[in-house]
Structure 1
Amino acid sequence: MPHPAQLVKSYASVAMILPMLLLVVCRCEANKLWELALEDEKEGKVVQVHVVHGSGHAWPPACYPGDPHARAAVWKHGPGVLTQHGRQQGFHFGENLRSRYLNFLPKERTYKYVNALTAKTTRSRMTSSMVLAGLLPPKDDDVWTITWPPAVVNVDDILANQHCDRLERLKKNVVYDTKSEELYLKVSSNTKKSVKTPLEMLDMYMCLDIQNQAGLPIPAWARALYSDMRREAAKGYQFDSEISRLEVGRILDTITKFNESEKGNNRINLYSVDNTIIGEILAALRFNQAEPPNSLTALVVEIREQHKRYHAQLWYRVGPFDDLVRLSWPGCSTRCSLTKLRTLLDPLIPKDWSTECKQIRTASSTADIVIISLVLLAFVLVYIATASGNRIYHYVTEFIARRKRSVKTEA
């Protein structure tokens, strides 16, 4: 029978090795590539792919006054710039796309069949470059001094956070359904920062989550509140048809508008956006979100041909190392015909975005006109009253003066 001391040593060795084994397993799972996109009689053939993906892990601003991780070494690349984690996430995502659509992309000059668009932010542009590096490994005579293919990334205004007066106005008037007053008080008290709405909670949670992804410990005060903060932050994405039209309507239009003549060239279309845009698209499609988008969250729309007819399939990836999950189109199915899908999305697609941004919401404008009218009316009444009062005062003063002069004259 082994000596107790030997048993203790054995258990200690196992205890030391087990976490290492778990870490290896986790890394293997993280590095596992996606399976090939299934193509058969039932699913149809992939003819075009649209991938809307968020940015990789990047340095956020200080979460709150006195944030202990605001100057951590992991942020050495600077504000809004991808960290090493973010670069690895982007490259791995590109590898996943390559693995899934290996048979769909040509073996040579692959970059000619991929169209990459990005928002203007540094993190979005860097993410797009990293995704392309993973998606388009050079082969044969495409290989040059380094194993990286030059691929064009175009900055696109539709993906940028363009200013829209009407959109800003609508967002300010959103009423959120929240009953977690105690949670907001606790978060505000611990951060010394006012947190009153799900959008403000979203900023706070995402900042903490980005730090957590970087391996920085969650502050003690936030550990017990973390899951509640996540759930409350997801409420920042609520459906409003007018907000959705102006926020993500043009993206929905782009990724569901299929041009048969272009299917041979634009085989994979990448859209690098801010992670919050993914949440806005899910809200526009009426999906209930239990948690906000994570680093490199992605929506994949596959246009497929089946019996000479086209339908769209929707896939979703929650976080940087998750697999794709197939979703049903709201009001349709997992395989929604393009004709029906365009009909369903029509109310969310602006006909003239710039013109709609200049319009004033009818209900709000009516209320504003009434308020402005009442203010002007009150001003006019005050002016009239003041002017009339002055005239009466001068008349009475002059009348009294005349009476006094008249009395003196008679005397």
Structure 2
Amino acid sequence: HLVGDYNKEKIYVQSTDVDRTLMSAECNLAALFPPNSSEKLTPSLPWQPVPIHTTSEHLDSVLAAKAPCPRYDLELIKVKNSKEIQDLNKKYKDLFKYLTMNSGRAIENISEVEFLYDVLLIENNNNLTLPNWTASVFPHPMDEVARWSFALPTWNKELGRLKSGLLIGDMVKHFKDKHANKINNRHLWFYSAHDSTVANLLNTLGVFDLHNPPYSATVLLELRVKNNQSIVTLVYRNSTTKGPYLLTIPGCSPGCPLDQFIKLTEDVIPKDWKLECHAHYFFDLTSDLPFNTIAIFDKKNL
């Protein structure tokens, strides 16, 4: 087993407040920590309860990353209005038109294609018959467009800092505390979240290879000791038929020395997330947004 028998001091489990991620955590924990003979609730049930912690989505700034952040919302709109994204929308405008005509849903940008692609993917995976009109667009070229959508929420460093920075900051703090022997018993922090969480984390760390993270995709960040030096490894598993991939953070080696890892992630970890989220967003006079989109005061997380 990963950390031996279950012990509440060894593992901390956090999930987004969504039924499917909570259930995924439950299933994984049932496999990770089957009860020993003294822990079985009943001889015929090889299962024991393990606590899962969660936060309401609208308050979760770490894992779901849906707590209100006006500065993030503004920056994301700026990116969506950038030439780079508008060029992508123009490139796929015929696809948008075709999907709108046949799906009954207005498809006007890459994010809306990704939503529809996900619906078709789920139906296909469950052996449902797809409509005939999907044959010319699913999986390709819809999958190509969906990949861009997964990169959009963390398109630049500021978006990544505000979207995934707190999660990375949590991980860095755990590594620091473990290295300093402040938390001797804790061995595993387990996060159950979404394909978008995986993409956002990898993209913010600079290792996202444009793709659609499959269901059960897993990112493993591990603190190891090699030659008396603490190193961090980053492993990505996105297949049940192939082994995981060892990724290299830009500016470091595959086994990144902890001090270097901390230095490389400093600029994507907010010092004060709430302050950064609300600072200077009401009167951003340098914005290249159309005037009618400057007043986004509803604090909606896009």
TM-score surpassing 0.5?
yes
Write the deviation string for residues 347-394 of structure 1: whole angstroms up to 9, x where unpaired.
Answer: 11100011111123599444499969xxxxxxxxxxxxxxxxxxxxxx
Write the deviation string for residues 36-61 of structure 1: whole angstroms up to 9, x where unpaired.
Answer: xxxxxxxxxxxxxxxxxxxxxxxxxx
1:314–1:328 CA contact under 8 A, matched in 2: yes
SS of the aligned residue for 1:128 comes to helix
Decide which structure has greater helix share: 1
Note the residue ranges of structure 2 that are not aligned, 5 or more in a row.
Answer: 293-302
The range that moved more, 124-133 or 285-294, is 285-294
SS of the aligned residue for 2:116 comes to helix
Pick one of 215, 219, 224 that aligns with 1:304. Answer: 224
The answer for the alignment partner of 1:209 in structure 2 is 121
1:293–1:319 CA contact under 8 A, matched in 2: no
The one-letter amino acid of 1:217's match is: T
The answer for the alignment partner of 2:276 in structure 1 is 356
Pick one of 30, 35, 51 that aligns with 1:133. Answer: 30
Structure 2 matches for 1:243-392, cutoff 5 A?
Answer: 243-257=159-173, 258=175, 259-260=177-178, 261-262=181-182, 264-319=184-239, 323-361=243-281, 364-367=284-287
How far residue 284 of structure 1 moved from its aligned partner, in angstroms, is 1.4
Pick one of 40, 43, 47 that aligns with 1:148. Answer: 47
2:169 and 2:243 map into 1 onto residues whose CA distance is 26
Note the residue ranges of structure 1 that are not aligned, 5 or more in a row.
Answer: 1-97, 373-411
Structure 2 matches for 1:12-411, cutoff 5 A?
Answer: 98=1, 101=2, 105-106=3-4, 108-145=5-42, 146-156=45-55, 157=60, 158-160=62-64, 161-174=66-79, 175=82, 176=85, 177-178=87-88, 179-225=91-137, 226-236=139-149, 237-238=151-152, 239-257=155-173, 258=175, 259-260=177-178, 261-262=181-182, 264-319=184-239, 323-361=243-281, 364-367=284-287
SS of the aligned residue for 2:38 comes to helix
The 3 A distance-change label for structure 1 pair 138 and 370 is closer
The 3 A distance-change label for structure 1 pair 165 and 321 is farther
How far residue 344 of structure 1 moved from its aligned partner, in angstroms, is 1.2
1:268 and 1:129 map into 2 onto residues whose CA distance is 16
1:287 and 1:183 map into 2 onto residues whose CA distance is 29
2:207–2:249 CA contact under 8 A, matched in 1: no
The 3 A distance-change label for structure 1 pair 214 and 265 is farther
2:207–2:247 CA contact under 8 A, matched in 1: no
Matched residues, number: 269
1:116–1:153 CA contact under 8 A, matched in 2: yes
The answer for the alignment partner of 2:295 in structure 1 is none
SS of the aligned residue for 1:149 comes to coil
The one-letter amino acid of 2:261's match is: L
The alignment-based identity, stated in percent, is: 24
SS of the aligned residue for 2:219 comes to strand
RMSD: 2.5
1:363 and 1:110 map into 2 onto residues whose CA distance is 51
2:8 and 2:202 map into 1 onto residues whose CA distance is 29
How far residue 185 of structure 1 moved from its aligned partner, in angstroms, is 2.0
The one-letter amino acid of 2:117's match is: Y
How far residue 305 of structure 1 moved from its aligned partner, in angstroms, is 0.8
How far residue 220 of structure 1 moved from its aligned partner, in angstroms, is 2.3
1:202–1:292 CA contact under 8 A, matched in 2: no
The 3 A distance-change label for structure 1 pair 143 and 170 is same
How far residue 138 of structure 1 moved from its aligned partner, in angstroms, is 0.7
Write the deviation string for residues 318-337 of structure 1: whole angstroms up to 9, x where unpaired.
Answer: 25665422211222121111
